[in-house]
Amino acid sequence: MKKLMTGATLALGLASAPAWAADDVTLQLKWVTQAQFAGYYVALDKGFYEEEDLNVTILPGGPDIAPTQVIAGGGADVMVDWMPAALAAREKGLPLVNIAQPFKSSGMMLTCWKDTGIASPEDLKNRTLGVWFFGNEFPFMSWMSQLGISTDGKSENGVEVLKQGFNVDPLIQRQADCISTMTYNEYWQVIDAGVTPEELVTFKYEDQGVATLEDGLYVLEENLSDPAFVDKMARFVRASMKGWKYAEENPDEAAMIVLDNDQTGAQTEQHQKRMMGEVAKLTAGSNGALDPADYERTVATLLAAGEEPVITKQPEGAWTHVISDAALN
């Protein structure tokens, strides 16, 4: 009887004990909710984070949100950002570390009117070119430097750089001969404006050898000394990459999951499905681990970016395989 009572008491104690709480993770995106970040929304929707005992909150970005400021202020555990911005922040004192790299390839390119006579990069001289700033201009500056083209203004060996907003108006309104676009976003905005692909010429930064890494996952270096944080991030990366590979294989379903998570109602099914198809090309070939050769190419591109490079010296400790090794092996 005593044994029975002990068992009953134990069972009662277990029943009243609180369930083991999942670890909270807050992810700050670089931009608004769209298929560019589909892998994370898929991982959330499909329960991949839950399987890793994670309670993940995804914070959308936007024109007034700087991921580096959010993570510096403790508003996120991990963030999505482009490596130029992350390395620049690191050199200025914010110790960001790349822990995973879901995007293998760059989606950045220059999109030009064909009727301007632009057929090759050498034809860009004496043109007006729309360029994104806030750290996104450095691959362009490096490219122009390698071509021997000045960015001081229109001339026989120079171009006029138009600071481009996050729209395609300068091209549509003929204020610029070329503008910055992403393969998965702004290029299609040009097409949706009534322009045909045959009217355009595009130059992918990947093809020009000046592409820099985009959409990596970054954390603060100090947190990597905490074994619990490292374990949590390894589980986060593992679940996220599962989400990304699912999105690659099921692009239309992934696009619809993104739409379900868009609180603004600004996105459309056609645009998100098209975007996901293009984003899948950029994540293809990555298992989540940063390729050191891609990192070295990014650093070399940034150091060669003319008179005002985004970084002035070789970074140290800017990436680690500790998290991806634990997640993937």
* pLDDT tens digits along 8-57: 444 444 444 445 789 999 999 999 999 999 999 999 999 999 999 999 99
Amino acid 224: pLDDT: 98
Domain end point (choices 153, 186, 208):
208
Domain harbouring 218, CATH code: 3.40.190.10
Report yes or no: 87 and 120 within 8 Å, Cβ to Cβ. no
pLDDT grade, residue 1 (50/70/90)? very low
Helix (H) or strand (E) holding 162: strand 160-163
Burial of 20 (0-12, 13-18, 19+ CB in 10 A): exposed
| 221 and 80 fall within a common domain | yes
Question: Among 95-104, 132-141, 236-245, which is the least confidently predicted range?
Answer: 132-141
6 domain residue, yes or no: no
Amino acid 267: pLDDT: 92
Amino acid 2: pLDDT: 36
Domain end point (choices 153, 178, 208):
208
Find, among 268, 233, 215, the residue nearest to 105 by Cα: 215
320 domain residue, yes or no: yes
Torsion sign (Cα): 245, 249, 255, 261: negative
- SS3 percent helix, strand, coil of the chain, rounded to 5, is 45, 20, 35
Q: Which residues is 160 bridged to in the sheet?
A: 128
Residue type, 17: A
Which DSSP letter does residue 76 get? Answer: -
Amino acid 137: pLDDT: 82
- As for how many domains the chain has, the answer is 2
Find the mean pLDDT for residues 306-319: 87
CA dist 288 and 279 (Å) reads 15
| 80 and 173 fall within a common domain | no
Range of the domain at 70: 23-104+213-328
pLDDT at 249 over 50: yes
| 137 and 50 fall within a common domain | no
CA dist 184 and 275 (Å) reads 5
Amino acid 4: pLDDT: 39
Amino acid 14: pLDDT: 41
CA dist 281 and 184 (Å) reads 10
What's CA 37's distance to the chain center, in Å?
8
| 264 and 285 fall within a common domain | yes
89 domain residue, yes or no: yes
CA dist 149 and 124 (Å) reads 9
| 202 and 251 fall within a common domain | no
CA dist 236 and 257 (Å) reads 19
5 domain residue, yes or no: no
Q: What's the pTM value of the predicted model, to 2 decimals?
A: 0.90
* 3-class secondary-structure state, position 21: coil
Find, among 129, 97, 134, the residue nearest to 113 by Cα: 129
Residues recorded for the chain: 329
| 68 and 85 fall within a common domain | yes
| 201 and 220 fall within a common domain | no
* Residue that wins the pLDDT comparison between 30 and 329: 30
pLDDT at 3 over 60: no
297 domain residue, yes or no: yes
Cβ-based neighbour number of residue 201 at 10 Å: 20
| 217 and 324 fall within a common domain | yes
Q: Which residues contact 62 (CB under 8 A, 6 or more apart)?
A: 31, 32
